[in-house]
Amino acid sequence: MVPLKTWVLVAVLLGAFTGLALPHGSGAKESPALQKQGPSVVVHGAHVVHLSQDGKVHAWRTKDLGADPEYARVLASQPLRLLATGRGQLWGTDLARVYRWSEESRTWKPEFQLPASTEPAIALAVVGGTVRWSCTRHAWWRPGRARSIRLPR
């Protein structure tokens, strides 16, 4: 069994590749839009899953940190841009729909359509039973500015 300290280190290192970058501007005072930069990294069940910016999926087993290319292959069956975990589920979005991973059938199940927006989603999270996504000007961490859909119980 891999110690928790090792998991924290792995999560921090993989998480260091994620982030948001502000575009270089002409010095204007208005707030520039955020653009997604880097991958999504989640720990789900017995796997650490990494989704790169170009959509390539990698997976490692949590018990020994060994690569699991077969699991990565089935996760890549649906082209996705962002991943999140919550309520014991793995969630993904292609920026048009949100999908839930089914371990039983090993497929992505479409859950709901994201509302039409002129702003691209840059992050996906499940917070308190609600799927939330942040857009370039609306972020789930800003009260009153969240874009979200409550999950059924």
Digit-coded pLDDT (tens) for 13-65: 555 444 444 444 454 444 444 455 457 899 999 999 999 988 899 999 999 99
Indicate whether this model's pTM tops 0.75: no
Q: Which two tokens stand for residue 87?
A: 């309520």
Q: What is the pLDDT of residue 12?
A: 46
| Dihedral Cα 92, 97, 101, 106, nearest 10 deg | -120
Does residue 128 come out as left (phi exceeding 0), alpha (psi in the -120 to 50 range) or beta?
left
Please name each of the domains of the chain with its CATH number. 4-15+34-150 (2.40.128)
Is residue 69 predicted with pLDDT exceeding 60?
A: yes
Can you read off the two tokens belonging to residue 27?
A: 């010095």
* DSSP output for the chain: ---HHHHHHHHHHHHTT-EEEPPP-SS-SSPPPPEEES-EEEEETTEEEEE-TTS-EEEEETTT--B-HHHHHHHTTS--SEEEEETTEEEEE-SSEEEEEETTTTEEEEEEEPPP-SSPEEEEEEETTEEEEEESS--TTSTT--EEEEPP-
Task: Please tell me the predicted confidence (pLDDT) of residue 143.
Answer: 41
Describe the strand order of the beta sheet including 57-61 as a list of residue ranges. Answer: 40-44, 47-51, 57-61
Quote the pLDDT of residue 57.
94
The pLDDT of residue 126: 82
Q: What is the pLDDT of residue 146?
A: 47
pLDDT at 70 over 50: yes
Residues 84-115: pLDDT tens digits?
A: 998 889 999 888 888 999 999 999 999 888 77
22-36, 72-86, 114-128: which is most confident: 72-86
Give residue 120's pLDDT: 67
